Chain A
Amino acid sequence: MAKAQAATPKPEMLLDIRDLRIEARVFPPDEAPKTVTLVHDVSLTLKRGKVLGLIGESGAGKSTIGLSSMAFGRGGVKITGGQVLLNGRDILTLGPAGVRKVRGREVCYVAQSAAAAFNPAHKLMDQVVEAAMLHGVASRAEAEKRAVALFKKLSLPNPETIGSRYPHQVSGGQLQRVMTAMALCSEPDLIVFDEPTTALDVTTQIDVLAAIKDAIRDTHVAALYISHDLAVVAQVADEILVLRHGRLVERGDTHQIIKLPQQDYTRALVAVHEIDHTEKQPSPTPILSVKNVTAAYGGGAVKVLKNVSVDLHPGQTLAVVGESGSGKSTLARAITGLLPPQQGSINFDGRTLSNRLADRPKEDLRQLQMIYQMADVAMNPRQTVRTIIGRPLEFYFGMRGKERDKRVAELLDKIEMGTGFADRYPAELSGGQKQRVCIARALAAKPKLIICDEVTSALDPLVANGILKLLLELQREEKVAYLFITHDLATVKSIADAIAVMYRGEVVRYGPKSQVLHPPFDAYTDLLLSSVPEMEQGWLESAIQGRRMQSAGN
């Protein structure tokens, strides 16, 4: 097989997608099933060994287009028009058996969540070499040798033995690299990277990104790199395709897209993190004062907060930043009383709060509200927006009937949604709208403090930007303080007045924003700050070189 391919030189144009149209059958509630078009006649080309970035928000059709290069439609998705020419032939006409010969051989796939994409029942090595053996690219021994070499190249720890581990025994960042090795193992011509670093912590992302970039360079494989984060794509792509609602917005080389965007939408994507916010000065008396709090899970067995002290001033925003496992959400649980601290105290508005949630009076509950990352699971799917926002009004203020409806309308107006939304169900709202409803629900209680736990992490950048602006606007009007938990430093820079950096349960750096973000940095803050992708080609290399500390988990 290898000889036959060597005899006929492969065409220079690896992938040529022409007028691709992709449709799906959807079954909306209370309506007849209908067909929607996900991708409208998109064309693209990719030369051998090049990297094309596909960028856009969710629903832009980037994954759908990426998978079409494997003649695959996820769920009820069907490719209904156009051609996908791979190595000079239309793979849409190959039939099931023909397509199976292409998948895993000429094109391989790296999924967003490698943790879910690996079969928990098999060892990593068995899964890594599976495609290579299936397509007769290599014998088991050869494939394993190649896999170990790839593990080394991707700087995985213990490359000789990691293959004999099961997926759950390996961290997320490592799994993502193992998946890249799996894709490279059968020496394909093209790899589809579908948001391979999105689910990772920022300090892990940079490692994985660098590993992927090196592997692409050394193996001369071509790639479709799908991401919603333009700064990430800019590090690896030669060319970028901007997509929106299944249509092509703009195509250009990476430099042109990030420096000289032609379309308004692209300009908005480039400028997405810029929000004007002037830092406020601390007031004499903080609204919330966390003093020497230590908290643990498992009856004191696992300490997740160690002697944490922070202050939050009225009408201001304290951002708590850190990677997963740093204890930032646990801090929120301790403040709300969901996890009573072992030691220390929490003072709020001049009084000490009871450690346990059950011991707190209703007034304490009212003044301290929460907004969550997953807006859709934080709302009862069988209640309308009116009921959801009206609930705190009834519970805390005893409002009923017209009075309540009037207030609900006011709140909907505040979150820039009309009263027309009052009778909708959460399932009928977009991600951003759901989060707005959650904000309105928190505001309905007229709180003095809202804890925002990763409220923008699940949203597209532009939508997240809108939510952040709304939160700042509401802060001005309502004088509410935010404890803003996030792993995203760009968000922090946009909205915080003070910052607490957390690492393994401790606050390693704390103070006003200007001070925290101003050198000299401690090693961890430096790592965290230097890991945030910048909209600059070559940033990745200089960031890796300038590092003083290895990332924690991976």
Chain B
Amino acid sequence: MSSPILKLIAQRIALGLLLLFAVSVLIFVGTQILPGDVAQSILGQSATAESLANLREALGLNDPAYIRYLKWLGGILTGNLGTALSSGQDIASAIGGRLWNTLFLAFWAAVVSVPLAIGLGLLAVRYRNGFIDKLISGLALASTSLPEFFIGYLLVYFFAVQWQIFPGISTVYDGMPFLERMKAIALPATALTLVVLAHMMRMTRAAILNVMQSAYIETAELKGLSPFEIIRKHAFPNAIAPVVNVVTLNLAYLIVGVVVVEVIFVYPGMGQYLVDHVAKRDVPVVQAVGLIFAAVYITLNMIADIAAILANPRLRHPK
């Protein structure tokens, strides 16, 4: 480990933080220009003008936008995400359990999908343009082409309604036994896996095929290595950077993009929480959830960048 590589990594981290800051501004501005009045939606159509004005004053809605932004940002930096307008609950504590639920679901979906995608990608390269390759690619593309709500309902129809193997509603609660919990998330995790699998598989295949054109692959072939050894030992290490990139992109999707899947399976995660509060016009909740999603996305992409830097032998071992 030497200074150029540390400098590169420090640059990536600084860029990530800057980006996160920019996103926080965007989220704030975005929610401000939404139509509708929070006080009105809390008090309802029958509210008097006076009570509306009082509530606006109490919520600080009369301050200029930049003051409200700075207050919001200051709160986030000190761990205070504010209170939900609709329920008056502390957002941070409400999100805590739900974020954990979402990560739990994403984790198990990733545990299944990432090795499966990379394995299938390697297999597709080994038998490229053959029957196995086409079968893998065809099935993966089919699963991607179907929208996730459709896959979700298909899974519910067969596994919950017809065969009654897994529950159609993924209720989880604190203190739930692990196996019960796993059973509850089986269907949403499967739906997520099917959604992200094809992209990761295709990109792994493309990245390795690209490397397979290199002269050193021919060298390995002329040493008498078997095709699978060549892919594993000589092609894959040089395809790590693009593969890590697409994997983290999909991991981010598993956490951020679960909104639809969580709603279908009524899973008490972040997505469900977000959708509920958008409907209630609860701006602080939407802002907080949006910012957390952005942070997850940026962090994972940053990790991908850093992994790509570390995977490059020229950067790891300078002259």
Contacts and interface: CB of A to CB of B under 8 A. Distances in A.
Interface of A: 70, 72, 74, 99-105, 108-109, 111, 113, 116-122, 127, 130-131, 134-135, 165-166, 168-169
21 contacts: A70-B222, A99-B224, A102-B224, A103-B222, A104-B223, A116-B214, A116-B215, A116-B216, A117-B219, A119-B220, A119-B238, A120-B216, A121-B234, A121-B237, A121-B238, A122-B237, A130-B220, A130-B223, A131-B223, A134-B225, A168-B319
Interface of B: 214-216, 218-226, 234, 237-238, 313-314, 317, 319
Interface residues of B, dominant DSSP: helix
A109 B216 CA distance: 12
Nearest to A164: B317
A166 B313 contact: yes
B238 A169 contact: no
Contacts of A135: 224
Contacts of A134: 223-225
A70 B317 CA distance: 34
Given A103-B224, A119-B238, A131-B224, A111 B219 contact: yes
B269 to A, nearest CB: 39
B224 A105 contact: yes
A168 B314 CA distance: 7
B319 A169 contact: yes
Contacts of B220: 119, 130
Given A166-B313, A168-B313, A168-B314, A118 B223 contact: no
B218 A118 contact: no
Given A100-B224, A104-B222, A113 B215 contact: yes
A99 B224 CA distance: 7
Nearest to B237: A121
B126 to A, nearest CB: 13
A403 B225 CA distance: 62
Given A105-B224, A131-B223, A169-B319, A121 B218 contact: no
Max chain A C-beta neighbours (<10 A), residue from B216, B221, B319: B216
A108 B222 contact: yes
Contacts of B219: 109, 111, 117-119, 127
Contact of B313 (A70, A111, A120): A120
A234 to B, nearest CB: 27
A111 B215 contact: yes
A513 to B, nearest CB: 38
- Pick the 10 closest A-B CB pairs, nearest first: A104-B223, A116-B215, A103-B224, A104-B224, A121-B237, A131-B223, A100-B224, A119-B216, A109-B222, A117-B219
B150 to A, nearest CB: 40
Contacts of A118: 216, 219
